Amino acid sequence: MADVAPSLAQLRAEIDRIDDALLGLLESRVAIGRRVAAAKGDASGPYLRPGREAAILRRLCSAASADLPTATLERIWREILGANLARQVDPLTVVYAPQGAEACLDLARDRGGAATRLETVESAEAAIAAAVDGRATLAVLPDVADSRWRWWPQLVSASQQDTSTQKPCVIARLPLFGEGGVPAYGVAPQGPDPSGDDVTLYAVRGTAESALDTAEIEGAHWSLIAADGYLEAGHIPAGAALIGAYARPETSRSKTST
């Protein structure tokens, strides 16, 4: 006797069972987020872990079949990650999106998900200050190497200040998957978070041939450099200022990219 194909009602019932199972798993994941927050305590260190997030997304996208496009998976998991972050802190992303870099707002929204509030500001200074002051969880700014809105000198100046507070650093590049348009960078008052395949940004005095950009900062010329790999402060050239590090974009993992 030939197998009887399942009816539409049976297929819909199976979908409902899968949806129920997914809901239970999502609730379990968010519950673990509460336990993570409790384990961290008040003196925990940074809430943002962009390197770990990049590693999670890379692993999932590598394992997924062609039926689940990378863009779809990233959108789903960004919402999950954002919901988990919201169990630990009230996330606010402050965005500087000047003319020519309006896409920064969409990139920030995609990264933070529905659980993250967005606020736009009129200058890079205001965005960085919001993160440093603790008002914002993350500041999102346009391409670090574009002289139209040159803001990286602010991070050099901050790195030279003799204070006990954590200096603002680049900790993420948006988007992780895909290219096109003006990229955005995430800045927060914390050290970079390694992902396993990263690019480090630092600035050196003088004019370097490999510089992404050059600027005069407090009377001295500085060059912005992108180096392969995750380099901690002790492993960059003597006298250099660490600007930050970020997970290498997936479309260009074979070469240094900004």
Query: pLDDT tens, 164-217?
Result: 578 999 999 999 997 767 899 999 999 999 999 999 999 999 999 999 999 999
- Does residue 211 contact residue 239 with C-beta atoms inside 8 Å? no
How far apart CA 97 and CA 140 sit, in angstroms, is 8
Query: pLDDT tens, 8-32?
Result: 999 999 999 999 999 999 989 888 8
Query: For residue 52, what are the contacts with CB-CB under 8 A and spacing of at least 6?
Result: 193, 195
Q: Residue 202's closest CA among 258, 161, 162?
A: 258
How far apart CA 220 and CA 198 sit, in angstroms, is 29
Q: What pLDDT score was predicted for residue 32?
A: 82
Task: Give percent above pLDDT 90 in the chain.
Answer: 73
How far apart CA 40 and CA 47 sit, in angstroms, is 9
Where residue 118 falls among pLDDT bands split at 50, 70, 90? very high
Query: pLDDT tens, 32-71?
Result: 877 777 776 655 567 899 999 999 999 999 999 988 999 8
Q: What is the DSSP string of 124-169?
A: HHHHHHHHHTTS-SEEEEE-TT-GGG--HHHHHHHHHS--SSPPPE
How far apart CA 204 and CA 83 sit, in angstroms, is 39
Q: Model pTM?
A: 0.89
pLDDT exceeds cutoff 50 at 258: no
How far apart CA 206 and CA 222 sit, in angstroms, is 5
Query: For residue 106, what are the contacts with CB-CB under 8 A and spacing of at least 6?
Result: none
| Token couple for 2 | 């030939």
Cross-strand bridge partners of residue 188? 169
Q: Please confirm whether the linkage preceding 69 is cis (ω < 30° from 0).
A: no
Q: Cα–chain-centroid distance for residue 253?
A: 16
Q: In what order do the strands lie in the sheet with 169-174?
A: 117-121, 92-96, 138-142, 184-188, 169-174, 241-247, 198-205, 220-228, 213-217
Q: What pLDDT score was predicted for residue 232?
A: 84
Query: pLDDT tens, 87-115?
Result: 888 999 999 999 999 999 999 999 999 99
